[in-house]
Amino acid sequence: MPSPVMPTSKRSGGPQRPAAVSAAGLRKSYGDKTVLDGIDLHIPAGSVFALLGPNGAGKTTTVKILSTLVGADDGRARVAGHDIATSPQAVRAAIGVTGQFSAVDGLITGEENMLLMADLHHLSRREGRRVTAELLERFGLADAAGKPASTYSGGMKRRLDIAMTLVGGPRVIFLDEPTTGLDPRARHNMWAVVRELVTGGTTVLLTTQYLEEADELADRIAVLTDGRIAAEGTPEELKRLVPGGHVRLRFTDPAAYRSAAGALRGAARDDAALTLSIPGDGSQRELRSVLDRLDSAGVEADELTVRTPDLDDVFFALTGGTDQPFEETSR
Amino acid sequence: MSSLSLAVRDSSTMVRRNLLHVRRYPSLTLNLLLTPIVLLLLFVYVFGEVMSAGIGGADRSAYLAYLLPGLLLMTIGSTVVGTAVSVSMDMTEGIIARFRTMAIHRGSVLIGHVIGSVLQSVASVVLVGTVAVAIGFRSANATALEWLAAFGLVALVALALTWIAVGMGMVSPNAEAASNNALPLIVLPLISSAFVPLDAMPGWFRPIAEYQPFTPAIETLRGLLLGTEIGHNGPLAVAWCLVLAALGHLWSKSLFDRDPG
């Protein structure tokens, strides 16, 4: 009888919840191409964890391994308390997977897809009908329930896909690029779905190449690049990792600009544009000190902007520059 | 749930899924049925007189009787080409990846295809047989037991060819490739004793026709329905079917168990 939870590790701060997903040293190569080069993960139960990275970083491969679709070459992982290598069926019974590519049966209707899932989860006919009706309603598919899934729009297919994933009441859900290819409205709907899942106690591991999405949804983010985790933490922790925050002052009067530059030693000057940039973390205290010094110098800036580092800065700093090739690869 | 009842339950779910596909998209099945029915009408009404004379029969009904057993098995070959196509299409669908990550009986996906295809083959054979009866085919006083054996043989051939077709579908990257790869299942009956007796063939060709799997099965079915000599063809047909089914099963299973790319 395996214990229901992994022993908790002591590497991250804060109160430790039992891990829904934990992995150590996952490796995978296809031929001589190394796709995963030692991945460690610790995802507390009931949280949203985002794997963020460019195409080809190994996000999908990680999901495929953790969801028992493919085997790892090396390393160990437990999902919902079960070892993925030694008890894959127990893992499968606890998870739901929505892959990058639509996992619906296009030849049959949305409702038939849902009933197929209910049958495969061994629900009674009555229970299957109830769950199907409820989920189709919840995902706005009740009207399209009788149409073949192949006629659905991209957003509808994705919703049906998630609805099918939820039929068995999974405790851990893997969402591989759940919003890729969706329009903004469909994307926001998907975010609402993910938030709702977590309030119900489900653990969500999602992959995304959108920084905004990880920032919006995830409790913790791992930045994956070239098969390794380059950084891991809360969105705020990651933002603190990189410089880039500053207060920017713009002037129209050259005299005021010169006085301000004299009062604020250490500011980066742009004499042509009459702007000053003062590096910092964007805190209230720091902002007040800048304003105090401007006051005592008797100058007033015409425009003041505060810029905190966002995940874009983190992403580009960690994944090697802005010229990251975003070519379409499927893996 | 015990693993056997899990296997039965999940497999029957998958059979229902495959039969639903057939019911929703009957055109593929009907297209495949067209070939044996057109051949039947062509060989009976257009070439019937000549062919009958060739086998020493009185009129075209003699050739209809000779032709039908081979044509029924050809119907199976033609139906399972559809199986190869639908398996290859299915394997490219995301839903298969979903099945692989669910706690279901692992073999049920393929078993669903196989049972669905065998049922479809038997239904097609019954349909072609009905057309033959409508245009005058009569068995030579076959007993109930012989009819039953004939049915059993049809089902066994269907099972064997289906497992081979499933493997062919799995190695094919798309529907076109599957349809090409499964072509031998249509061509083999043409070079068997389905259309002309072995002793009417050129000497060098006869062994090819004689020792391929279709000929013993055709001769056995002919014997059961028309009372001709079965001899060693019975056991040979059953052996061929069992070997092909076993090989096809092992082949398909090992292909399915590979990690998907």
Inter-chain residue contact B260 with A105, CB threshold 8 Å: no
Residues A175 and A290 reside in one and the same domain = no
Structure confidence by residue, pLDDT tens digits, A200-221: 889 999 999 888 888 889 999 9
Q: Which residue has the tokens 């015409």?
A: A302
Is the model more confident about A67 or about A186?
A67
How many contacts does A have with B, using Cβ atoms within 8 A? 64
**Average pLDDT value for chain B:** 91
pLDDT tens digits along A129-180: 999 999 999 889 999 999 999 999 888 998 999 999 999 899 999 999 988 8
B101 touches chain A (CB under 8 A): yes
* A303: CATH: 3.30.70
Which band of pLDDT confidence, cut at 50, 70 and 90, is reported for residue A300?
Answer: confident
> Which token pair is B214?
């279709």
Both A91 and A222 in one domain: the answer is yes
**Boundary-marking domain end, from A240, A265, A283:** A240
Q: Please report whether residue A131 resides in a domain.
A: no
Average pLDDT, chain A: 85
DSSP per residue over A158-218, as a string? HHHHHHHHHTT--SEEEEESTTTT--HHHHHHHHHHHHHHHHTT-EEEEEES-HHHHHHH-
Domain co-membership, A213 together with A271: no
ipTM: 0.86
Which pLDDT score is estimated for A284?
79
- Using DSSP's 3-state secondary structure scheme, residue A18 falls into coil
CA A283/CA B14 separation, integer angstroms = 60
The count of structural domains within chain A is: 2
Q: Do A69 and B98 touch (CB under 8 A)?
A: no
Alpha-carbon distance of A80 to A286, in angstroms, equals 45
Task: Tell me whether residue A77 is in a domain.
Answer: yes
Which tens digit of pLDDT belongs to each residue from B179-231?
A: 999 989 988 988 899 888 888 889 899 988 888 999 999 999 999 999 898 99
| Token pair listed for B177 | 């490739």
CA distance B139 to B69: 11
Q: Does B259 touch chain A (CB under 8 A)?
A: yes
Give the sign of the dihedral formed by CA B221, CA B226, CA B227, CA B228: negative
Q: Residues A28-54: what's their mean pLDDT?
A: 92
For chain B, state the CA radius of gyration.
Answer: 19
- Does residue A172 sit in the same domain as residue A223? yes
Phi, psi of B152 (to 5 degrees): -60, -45
In this predicted model, what pLDDT tens digit does every residue of B57-76 receive, in sequence order?
A: 778 888 899 999 999 999 99
Q: Are residues A83 and A185 in the same domain?
A: yes
* Confidence (pLDDT) at A13: 44
φ, ψ dihedrals at A67, nearest 5°: -95, 15
Q: Within this chain, do residues A160 and A220 fall inside the same structural domain, yes or no?
A: yes
Q: Does A326 have pLDDT greater than 80?
A: no
Band (pLDDT 50/70/90 cuts) for residue B243 is very high
C-alpha span between A155 and A179 (Å, rounded): 9
Question: What is the band of B261 on the pLDDT scale with cuts at 50, 70, 90?
Answer: low
Torsion (CA) B259, B120, B158, B246 in degrees, nearest 10? 20
CB A149 within 8 A of CB A157: yes
Give B97's contacts in chain A (Cβ within 8 Å): 69, 97, 99, 101, 103
Chain B residues closer than 8 Å to A107 by CB:
20-21, 24-25
Largest CA distance in chain B: 62
Same-domain status, A183 and A200:
yes
- Domain hosting residue A164, numbered range: 19-104+152-240
The answer on A174 and A202 residing in a single domain is yes
Which of A91, A101, A105 to mutate to test binding with chain B, by most B CBs within 10 Å of its CB? A105
pLDDT 10s digits, B139-170: 888 899 999 999 999 999 999 999 999 999 99
* Nearest residue, CB atoms, A107 vs list B25, B259, B261: B25
Query: Residue A256 falls within a domain, yes or no?
Result: yes
Where does the pLDDT of residue A182 fall: very low under 50, low under 70, confident under 90, or very high at 90 and above? confident
Looking at the domain assignment, is residue A314 inside a domain?
no
Within this chain, do residues A64 and A45 fall inside the same structural domain, yes or no?
Answer: yes
Which structural domain, as residue segments, surrounds residue B194?
Answer: 3-257
Looking at the structure, do residues A172 and A262 belong to the same domain, yes or no?
no
Q: How far away is chain B from the Cα of A68, in angstroms, using its nearest Cα?
A: 6
Instruction: Identify whether A12 is part of a domain.
Output: no
Number of structural domains in chain B: 1
Q: In angstroms, what separates the C-alpha of B104 from chain A's closest C-alpha?
A: 7
Question: Residues near B261 by Cβ (< 8 Å), separated by ≥ 6?
Answer: A30
Q: State whether A186 and A257 are in the same domain.
A: no
Q: Give the relative orientation of helices A254-263 and A284-297 as an angle to the nearest 10 degrees.
A: 120
Instruction: Name the least confident of A44-53, B45-54, B67-76, B148-157.
Output: B45-54
Provide the whole-model pTM.
0.81
Residue B19: CB partners within 8 Å, gap ≥ 6? B116, B119, B120
CA-to-CA distance for B24 and A101, rounded, in angstroms? Answer: 23
Report pLDDT for A298: 87
d(CA B89, CA A328): 23
Residue A70 above 70 pLDDT? yes
Decide if A1 contacts A37 (C-beta within 8 A): no
Measured in angstroms, the CA of A117 and the nearest CA of chain B are apart by 9
